[in-house]
Chain A
Amino acid sequence: MCGIAGRILRAPGPVGRDLVELMDAQVHRGADSTGFALYGPPREQGFIVRAVGMDRAALGRDLDDFLGILRDHGSDFLEDPTFDSADTPHVSVRMVVGEFRDLARWSRDADGISERLEVQSVGRSLEVVKDVGTSSEVADKHGVRDFVGTHGLGHARLATESSVSPTASHPFWARPFPDVAIVHNGQITNYYLWRNRLERRGYRFMTENDSELIAVWISDRMRHGMAKSAALGQSVREIDGVFTYLIADERSIGFAKDRWAIKPLVAMGEAPEIAVATEEQAVRRIYREEGAVTNYDGPAETRTWLASRAEAAPAVEAAA
Chain B
Amino acid sequence: MSRPAAANRIEVVAADRPVREVNEELRAAVADGREVVVRDTRSRHNLGVGLPAAARVRFEGSVGYYCGGLNDGARIEIERNAGWGVGEAMAEGEIVVGGYAGMAAGASMRGGVLHIRGDAGPRCGVAMKGGDIIVEGRIGYLSGFMAHAGRLIALGGAGEACADSLWGGEVWLAGPAESLGVDARIEEPEAEEVAAVEALLAGRGLGDSTRDWRKVVSEQRLWHFESRDAKAWLMI
A298 touches B159 (CB 8 A): yes
Q: Does B236 contact A (CB under 8 A)?
A: yes
Partner of B62, one of A260, A261, A293, A298: A293
Which residues does chain A contribute within 8 Å of B44, judged by CB atoms? 281
B80 touches A290 (CB 8 A): yes
A280 touches B83 (CB 8 A): yes
Mostly helix, strand, loop or mixed at chain A's interface? loop
Min CB distance B46 to A, Å, is 11
Q: Does A10 contact B (CB under 8 A)?
A: no
Q: Does A299 contact B (CB under 8 A)?
A: yes
Mostly helix, strand, loop or mixed at chain B's interface? loop
Cβ contacts A256-298/B at 8 Å (1 or 0 each): 0001110010000000000000011100100010100101011
List B residues 45-78 near A (Cβ within 8 Å): 45, 61-62, 64-65
Nearest-CB residue, chain B, relative to A282: B43
Min CB distance A104 to B, Å, is 36
How many angstroms between the C-alpha atoms of A259 and B142 in the bound complex? 11
A290 touches B103 (CB 8 A): no
B43 touches A261 (CB 8 A): no
Min CB distance B22 to A, Å, is 13
Which residues does chain A contribute within 8 Å of B43, judged by CB atoms? 279-281, 284, 293
Which residues does chain B contribute within 8 Å of A260, judged by CB atoms? 142
Check A281/B140 contact, CB under 8 A, given A259-B236, A264-B102, A290-B80. no
List B residues 99-134 near A (Cβ within 8 Å): 100, 102-103, 121-123
Nearest-CB residue, chain B, relative to A290: B61
Q: Other than the known A281-B44, A290-B62, A293-B43, what 10 A-B pairs have Cβ atoms closer than 8 Å? A: A261-B140, A261-B142, A279-B64, A284-B42, A290-B80, A293-B81, A295-B121, A297-B103, A297-B141, A299-B122
Where the two chains meet, the residues of A that have a C-beta atom closer than 8 Å to any C-beta of B are 259-261, 264, 279-281, 284, 288, 290, 293, 295, 297-299
Query: Can you report 29 residue pairs joining A to B where beta carbons are below 8 Å apart?
Result: A259-B236, A260-B142, A261-B103, A261-B122, A261-B123, A261-B140, A261-B141, A261-B142, A264-B84, A280-B43, A280-B62, A280-B64, A280-B83, A281-B42, A281-B64, A284-B42, A284-B43, A288-B42, A290-B62, A290-B80, A293-B62, A293-B100, A295-B102, A295-B121, A297-B102, A297-B103, A297-B121, A298-B140, A299-B122
